[in-house]
Amino acid sequence: MNNRFSIGRVFAATFIAVLAFVLLTGQTTQKKSAKKSSKAPTAAARGKAVQDSLVAFRADSIQKVLLARASADSIQRKHTADSLMQWRADSLKKLQLRKMTNEAFGVGERLVFDVNYLNITAGEAVMAIPSTDSIAGRRCFRVEFTVNSTPFFSSVYKVEDRYLTFIDGEAIAPWKFEQHIREGSYRRDFIAEFDQVRHVAKTTGGQYEIPEYVHDIMSAFYYARLLDYSKMKVGEGPTLFNFYKDTSHELKVKFLGRQELEVEAGTFNTIVVEPLVREGGLFKSEGRIVIWLSDDERKIPVRVNTKVIIGSIDTELREYSGLIGPLRSRIK
């Protein structure tokens, strides 16, 4: 647009100059004709001069247009080449994401829990990996978590919570997270898409920078199942980053020790850990969260105890299926 506008201005200026030249030539020759009429240019000569000027202008204009187009084409080719190089670099980096050994979980795993509050079974929670999906060209575990109150408890306080995360099958880091809360009259829907290459999270509230291999609270839970607790001392544990709403929080997984534990699904040797999470967890609380994991390669959650304002919520394993291997920690 700028090139056409510039050419238009050049054309107008040239046209005025040619017109002035014609008028000036006419006025001058009229004055000279009074003295030496024999040297006055003829009408044909003046017309030829105008025609020659226009031909020169057109050639110059065409050259300018061609140069402008060549410059634009060069810029476009460079932009395309730069974009292609960036795409190739990003693609290569995606291929270079960390590769973690996973002997804990896989497609088909389904864990069912009773949610108990004040010695009453208030609801049921289900953690499942029904399938894999492709996101950003990466194979991801589709992990679903639901919490539903029982019919009896629903008459007092109805809960229908849904969580969904897509965890990279090799890097064990999320590419997408969804939270759909329905608790009494409270409603909340939150979606976050994680670019684990450019370290950006796009959410329903905006776009934010994130640390490398940032987690949502669900993916952090599954990542914790891959950790080797055999060499940890009580109080030790890794620090992760958990993103929620608009902020990346530090999330420390603290090893508390080992304990034998009996629940409806059986009796297990367990590893006891405490995620020190600020907000946005699977189990919202005002206090402490403690998790018992089976002390074997699977590290499935056997029990979760959550302190709330009044009392605590105990979530205990009732049944399991679709594991990728045996539970060596089960005693009976």
Choose the final residue of a domain: 31, 60, 95: 95
Does residue 142 fall inside a structural domain? yes
CA torsion 95-100-105-107 (nearest 10°) is: 10
Estimate the crossing angle of helix 2-36 against helix 43-95, to 10 degrees.
170
4 has a pLDDT exceeding 50: no
Does residue 178 fall inside a structural domain? yes
CA 200 – CA 189 distance, rounded (Å): 20
Does residue 100 fall inside a structural domain? no
Does residue 197 fall inside a structural domain? yes
Mark whether 159 and 255 lie in a shared domain: yes
Mark whether 117 and 90 lie in a shared domain: no
> What is the Cα gyration radius of the chain?
37
Question: Quick one: pLDDT at residue 113?
Answer: 97
Asked if 281 and 308 count as a contact pair (C-beta separation under 8 A), the reply is: no
Choose the final residue of a domain: 95, 123, 146: 95
Mark whether 73 and 130 lie in a shared domain: no
Choose the final residue of a domain: 70, 95, 120: 95
Tell which residue, 134, 145, 138, 152, has the closest CA to residue 105. 145
Per-residue pLDDT tens over the stretch 103-158 = 999 999 999 999 998 888 999 999 999 999 999 899 999 999 999 999 999 998 99
Mark whether 154 and 39 lie in a shared domain: no
311 phi and psi, to 5 degrees? Answer: 80, -145
Residue 187 structural domain: 110-321
Mark whether 155 and 16 lie in a shared domain: no
Mark whether 70 and 150 lie in a shared domain: no
Tokens read off for 316: 């205990």
Strands 120-135 and 266-276 turn out to be unpaired
Per-residue pLDDT tens over the stretch 11-53 = 333 333 333 333 333 444 444 444 444 455 666 666 666 566 6
Does residue 129 fall inside a structural domain? yes
Asked if 232 and 259 count as a contact pair (C-beta separation under 8 A), the reply is: no
Does residue 55 fall inside a structural domain? yes
Does residue 105 fall inside a structural domain? no
Instruction: Kindly state the DSSP code that residue 3 receives in the 8-state scheme.
Output: H
Asked if 289 and 303 count as a contact pair (C-beta separation under 8 A), the reply is: no
- Provide the number of structural domains found in the chain: 2
Strand partners for 206: 203
Mark whether 59 and 118 lie in a shared domain: no
Tell which residue, 328, 319, 208, 210, has the closest CA to residue 266. 319
Per-residue pLDDT tens over the stretch 222-273 = 999 999 999 899 999 999 999 988 999 888 899 999 999 999 999 999 999 9
Q: CA–CA distance from 42 to each of 83, 101, 175 (Å)?
A: 61, 95, 82
Mark whether 161 and 290 lie in a shared domain: yes
Mark whether 156 and 297 lie in a shared domain: yes
Tell which residue, 221, 208, 205, has the closest CA to residue 282. 221
Identify the CATH number of the domain in which residue 121 sits: 2.40.360
Structural element, H or E, at residue 47: helix 43-95
Question: Quick one: pLDDT at residue 51?
Answer: 67
Asked if 262 and 256 count as a contact pair (C-beta separation under 8 A), the reply is: no
Mark whether 217 and 261 lie in a shared domain: yes
3-class secondary structure per residue, 167-223: EECCCCCEEEEEEEEEECCEEEEEEEEEECCCCEEEECCEEEECCCCCECHHHHHHH
Mark whether 226 and 295 lie in a shared domain: yes
More confident residue, 178 or 59: 178
CA torsion 89-94-99-102 (nearest 10°) is: 180
Mark whether 22 and 143 lie in a shared domain: no
Tell me the pLDDT band of 79, cut-offs 50, 70 and 90. low
Does residue 329 fall inside a structural domain? no
